[in-house]
C-alpha cells in the first residue's frame, strides 16, 4: 500500500512539474518574441519531454534502461492517437492542419523508424545513441529554419526572471518526481509480478502525455491548433530520437526485441495513419479521431497478449530446463 501511495504521489509531482514547466516556458518564449510555430514545436515540446527524459535517465542509472524505452515508445503511441482523439472530442470540433505542417513532416515517420532500425538486434550502443541524437537535432534544425518567422502579436512580458526561476523550480519538481516514479514502479511491478516494461509503457507512459494533452486543450480552445499539433509532434520526435539516444549514451543496453517488433512498429504505423488523416482535407475530423482511439485500443490488446504469450513461453523454458 505504501508503494502505491509513493508511486501515485511521484506521478503527481511529474505531471504537476511538467504542467508548470510548459506554462512558464511558453511565457518565457513569448518574452523573446518567438513565433507560435517555434514555441509549439521547439520550446514547448522540449519542455514536454522532460518527464519521460528524467524517468528514462533514472531508469538507465538504476540499471533498467528498457523500462525507459518502454515508457518512451508507449507514450509516443498515446500522443499520436488518444491525445489527438481526446483533444478533438473535448474541443467539440475538428482540428485544422496548416499546409506548412504537412510539408515539413513528409519525412517525419521515417525519422521515427531510426531507433527501430538501429535497435533491430535488441541492443543500442553509444555510437547508435549519438546517431539518434544527431538525427533528432537535424530534424529540429530544419523545423526551426522553416518556421522561425517572428510573430509580432506575441507580447513582450516583463516577468522574464520570474518565468525563468519558476521554470527551474518546475524542472526540479520533475526531477525528484521522476526518480521516485522509477523506483516505486519497479517495486510495484515486482510485488504484483508484472513486467516493469508494461508499467512503463501504459501507466507511466500515459502519465507523461498529460502535459501535451493539457497544453493542446488550452491551445485549441484559443484556435491555436498549430501550437497544439507542434507540441505533440515535436515531443514524439524528440522522444524517439534524442531521448532514446541519451539513454543509450548513458548506458548502452539490451532490451526485449518485441519492444521493437511490436511497440516500435505501432509507433511508426500511428504516425503514418495520423499524417494520412492530416492530408485528407488538411484537418483531423471527429470520425478520424475515433479511429485513432480504436488504433490505440488495438495496440493495448496486442501488447497485452504478446506479453502473456512471452511469459508462458519463458515459464515453459524454465520448467523444461529444471526437468532436464
Chain segment 85-107, per-residue pLDDT in tens: 999 998 888 888 776 666 666 78
Q: Over 60: is that where the pLDDT of 52 sits?
A: yes
Give the helix, strand, coil percentages of the chain, each rounded to 5: 80, 0, 15
Q: Is 109:265 a contact under the CB 8 Å cutoff?
A: no
Name the least confident of 160-174, 176-190, 218-232, 262-276. Answer: 176-190
Of 130 and 258, the structure prediction assigns the larger pLDDT to 130
Q: Is the pLDDT of residue 237 over 80?
A: yes
Q: What is the mean pLDDT of the segment spanning 14-32? A: 71
Q: Mean of the pLDDT values across residues 159-186?
A: 75
Question: Which residue segments constitute the domains of the chain, with CATH numbers given?
Answer: 2-323 (1.20.1420.30)
pLDDT of residue 262: 87
Per-residue pLDDT, averaged over 47-74, amounts to 80
| Locus of grid cell 544527431 | 134
pLDDT at 150 over 50: no
Kindly report, residue by residue over 267-277, the tens digit of the pLDDT.
999 999 998 88
CB 34 within 8 Å of CB 155: no
Q: Which of 91, 109, 70 is nearest to 189 (CA)?
A: 70
Phi, psi of 82 (to 5 degrees): -70, -25
Percentage of the chain lying above the pLDDT 90 cut: 18
Coil, helix or strand at residue 237: helix
Q: What pLDDT sits at residue 295?
A: 96
Predicted confidence (pLDDT) per residue in 98-135, tens digit: 766 666 667 888 889 999 999 988 899 999 999 999 99
Contact 310, 258 (CB under 8 A): yes
Q: What is the pTM of this model?
A: 0.80
Q: For 187-207, what is the mean pLDDT?
A: 73
Supply the pLDDT for residue 114.
92
Residue 290 in this model has a pLDDT that exceeds 90: yes
**pLDDT value at residue 117:** 92
pLDDT of residue 146: 61
d(CA 94, CA 187): 42
What does the pLDDT read at residue 77? Answer: 93
Is beta strand 253-254 parallel, antiparallel or unpaired with respect to 123-124?
A: antiparallel
For 22, 78, 220, 268, the CA distances from 16, given in Å and listed in that order, are 10, 19, 21, 29
Q: What average pLDDT does the chain have?
A: 79
Amino acid at each position: 500500500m505504501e508503494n502505491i501511495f509513493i508511486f501515485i504521489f511521484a506521478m503527481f509531482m511529474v505531471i504537476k512539474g511538467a504542467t508548470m514547466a510548459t506554462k512558464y516556458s511558453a511565457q518565457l518564449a513569448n518574452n523573446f518574441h518567438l513565433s507560435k510555430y517555434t514555441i509549439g514545436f521547439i520550446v514547448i515540446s522540449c519542455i514536454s519531454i522532460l518527464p519521460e527524459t528524467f524517468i528514462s535517465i533514472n531508469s538507465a542509472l538504476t540499471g533498467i534502461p528498457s523500462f525507459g524505452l518502454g515508457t518512451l515508445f508507449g507514450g509516443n503511441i498515446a500522443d499520436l492517437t488518444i491525445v489527438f482523439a481526446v483533444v478533438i472530442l473535448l474541443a467539440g470540433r475538428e482540428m485544422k492542419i496548416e499546409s506548412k505542417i504537412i510539408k515539413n513532416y513528409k519525412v517525419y515517420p521515417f525519422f521515427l523508424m531510426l531507433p527501430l532500425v538501429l535497435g533491430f538486434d535488441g541492443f543500442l550502443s553509444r555510437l547508435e545513441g549519438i546517431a539518434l541524437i544527431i538525427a533528432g537535432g537535424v530534424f529540429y534544425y530544419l523545423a526551426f529554419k522553416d518556421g522561425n518567422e517572428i510573430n509580432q502579436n506575441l507580447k513582450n512580458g516583463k516577468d522574464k526572471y520570474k518565468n525563468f526561476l519558476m521554470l527551474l523550480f518546475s524542472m526540479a519538481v520533475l526531477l525528484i518526481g521522476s526518480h521516485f516514479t522509477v523506483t516505486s514502479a519497479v517495486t510495484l511491478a515486482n510485488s504484483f509480478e508484472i513486467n516493469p516494461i508494461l508499467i512503463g509503457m501504459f501507466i507511466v507512459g500515459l502519465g507523461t502525455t498529460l502535459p501535451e494533452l493539457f497544453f493542446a486543450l488550452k491551445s485549441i480552445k484559443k484556435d491555436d491548433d498549430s501550437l497544439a499539433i507542434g507540441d505533440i509532434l515535436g515531443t514524439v520526435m524528440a522522444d524517439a530520437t534524442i531521448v532514446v539516444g541519451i539513454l543509450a549514451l548513458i548506458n548502452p543496453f539490451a532490451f526485449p526485441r518485441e519492444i521493437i517488433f511490436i511497440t516500435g512498429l505501432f509507433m511508426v504505423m500511428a504516425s503514418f495513419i495520423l499524417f494520412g488523416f492530416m492530408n485528407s482535407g488538411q484537418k483531423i475530423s471527429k470520425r478520424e479521431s475515433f479511429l485513432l482511439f480504436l488504433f490505440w485500443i488495438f495496440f493495448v490488446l496486442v501488447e497485452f497478449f504478446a506479453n502473456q504469450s512471452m511469459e508462458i513461453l519463458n515459464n515453459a523454458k524454465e520448467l523444461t530446463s529444471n526437468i532436464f
